[in-house]
Amino acid sequence: MGDWGRAEYLARQGIRDRRVLAAIANLNRADFVPAHERDVAYRDVPLPIGYGQTISQPYVVALMSEALQLRGGERVLEIGTGSGYQTAVLALLAREVFTVEIVPELARPARRLLHRLGFTNVYFREGDGARGWPEGAPYDAIIATAAPPEIPRELLRQLKHGGRMVIPVGAVDQAQELLRIRRGQPGLLPQVERLLPVRFVPMTGQVAPVN
C-alpha cells in the first residue's frame, strides 16, 4: 500500500479531516523507519525505531492529528519526536511545531531528516519532554507520543486557555487511554474526553501530575 493508498484506507477507517489525510498521503513513512523495516513500512502497525521506542501505526497518527483540530495557524508542542513522522504530519498541518525528544540518538537523525525533507517550521530540543518547552508557551495544541501515568501538570500549564492536548495516559503495564484535554478558561477545570484504548511506550523524565 502506498501513501496515497494509506490515506484512502484511513478515510475508510473513519478519519474525516481532509488536511490530515493529505498530510499522510504526502509523506513516505518508509523515510522514517530503520532500513530493515522499510519493506513493512506501509502496514498499519507500530514499528520499532530503536532505543525502546516505536513509530505509531498510521491510524493512530492520523487520529491524534485529527483530534487536535488544527486549521493551519497554530503553534503546536510535540512531546516525543521519535523518528520524526508525527512531527512531519504536524508540520504540514500547523504554522509552527516545537518538538522535544529525550533520546539524543533519535533526536539528532530526526532533525537531519526533517531538514533534508525541507521542513523549516519545526524547532527541536533534546531534553525531558515532561517539562515541555516553557519558553515557547503558551501553545494552541500539545501532543504526546509517550504515556505518562497521569496528566502532566507542566504540560497543561503550557497549553493556551481553550487549547487542546492529545495524550495517552496510563502506566505501561496497565490499561492506557488516549485523552483529549481542553484547557478551560481561568478558574474552570479542564475537560477530558476519552478517545480510545491505546498502548504507548512510557513517558520518561520528571512527570508531575495534575492535582
pLDDT tens track, the chain, 211 positions: 346 677 889 999 999 999 999 999 999 999 999 999 999 988 899 999 999 999 999 999 999 999 999 999 999 999 999 999 999 999 999 999 999 999 999 999 999 999 999 999 999 999 999 999 999 999 999 999 999 999 999 999 999 999 999 999 998 777 899 999 999 888 788 999 999 999 999 998 665 555 5
Cβ-based neighbour number of residue 211 at 10 Å? 5
The confidence score (pLDDT) of residue 186 equals 83
**Annotated active-site residue in 53, 54, 56, 65:** 56
The confidence score (pLDDT) of residue 210 equals 55
The confidence score (pLDDT) of residue 188 equals 82
Angle among Cα 156, 161, 211 to the nearest 5 degrees reads 35
The confidence score (pLDDT) of residue 1 equals 39
The confidence score (pLDDT) of residue 209 equals 55
pTM value?
A: 0.93
The confidence score (pLDDT) of residue 198 equals 94
The confidence score (pLDDT) of residue 15 equals 96
Q: Is 56 a catalytic residue?
A: yes
The confidence score (pLDDT) of residue 6 equals 78
Buried residues in 45-73 as b, exposed as e (16+ CB within 10 A): ebbebeeebbbbebbbbbbbbbbbebeee
Radius of gyration for the chain, computed over Cα atoms and rounded to the nearest angstrom: 16
**What is the rounded distance in angstroms from the CA atom of residue 10 to the CA atom of residue 85?**
16
Taking only the tens place, the pLDDT of each residue in 184-199 is 888 788 999 999 999 9
